[in-house]
């Protein structure tokens, strides 16, 4: 029973990743805009291979950002407000990412309904098109969706067609 309950809870937590719609931005344009982001961020896979950026650790690793619960990248010291947002189950999608990078502090204040909410990210990417393009670029580097959809231990694999 415990295994089934754990699997069900994990499925609910992972649900935002499966509900992700295809990004609307341009991947190649996003790669160019990401040059502004790499001062603080890197995109490095599980093996530590740097896929984008300069291995900067001022901001969290953005690998697998689409669908990830906010403030949860392992071993990164997030600010209190982004952690509080993640505690609500909030997971990144394109629309929220675009709004967040335009003004991170304002986004957190609105999402948390907390005028005192703060963001450690001071950089702003105000152009919606640039933000959509960066999101598309990050999504292009994310782990394959079918790997994330692997069955939990003890569950049967989905039938293939």
User: Across residues 37-48, what is the average pLDDT?
Assistant: 95
In the block, tokens 């790669």 appear at 31
Q: Which domain does 133 fall in, by range?
A: 2-143
Total tally of structural domains belonging to the chain: 1
Query: Which pLDDT score is estimated for 49?
Result: 95
Greater model confidence, 120 or 161:
120
Closest C-alpha among 72, 65, 85 to residue 134: 65
Q: Report the alpha-carbon distance of residue 65 to residue 91 in Å, rounded.
A: 9
Kind and range of the H or E element at 44? Answer: strand 42-44
Top mean pLDDT of 6-15, 16-25, 32-41, 148-157 is at 32-41
Residue 154 counted as domain residue: no
Closest C-alpha among 104, 95, 21 to residue 60: 104
pLDDT tens for 102-151 read 999 999 999 999 999 999 999 999 999 999 999 999 999 999 864 444 44
Q: Report the alpha-carbon distance of residue 157 to residue 152 in Å, rounded.
A: 9
The reported pTM is: 0.77
Residue 81 CB: number of other CB atoms within 10 A? 23
55 pLDDT band, cuts 50/70/90, is confident
Residue 156 counted as domain residue: no
Residue 75 counted as domain residue: yes
CATH number where 27 lies = 1.10.760.10
pLDDT tens for 27-39 read 999 999 999 999 9
pLDDT tens for 76-104 read 999 999 999 999 999 999 999 999 999 99
Q: Report the alpha-carbon distance of residue 66 to residue 64 in Å, rounded.
A: 6
Residue 68 CB: number of other CB atoms within 10 A? 18
pLDDT above 70 (res 58): yes
Q: Report the alpha-carbon distance of residue 50 to residue 30 in Å, rounded.
A: 17
């Amino acid at each position: 029973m415990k295994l089934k309950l754990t699997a069900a809870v994990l499925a609910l937590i992972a649900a935002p990743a499966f509900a992700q719609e295809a990004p609307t931005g341009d991947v190649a344009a996003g790669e160019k805009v990401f040059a502004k982001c790499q001062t603080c961020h890197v995109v490095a896979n599980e093996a530590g291979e740097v896929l984008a950026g300069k291995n900067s650790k001022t901001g969290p690793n953005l690998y697998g950002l689409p669908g990830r619960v906010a403030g949860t990248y392992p071993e990164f010291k997030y600010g209190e407000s982004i952690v509080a947002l993640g505690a609500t189950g909030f997971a990144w999608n394109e629309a929220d990412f675009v709004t967040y990078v335009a003004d991170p502090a304002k986004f957190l204040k609105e999402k948390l309904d907390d005028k005192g909410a703060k963001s450690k990210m001071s950089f702003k990417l105000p152009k919606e098109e640039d933000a959509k393009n960066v999101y598309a670029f990050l999504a292009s580097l994310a782990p394959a969706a079918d790997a994330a959809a692997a069955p939990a231990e003890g569950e049967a694999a989905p039938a293939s067609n």
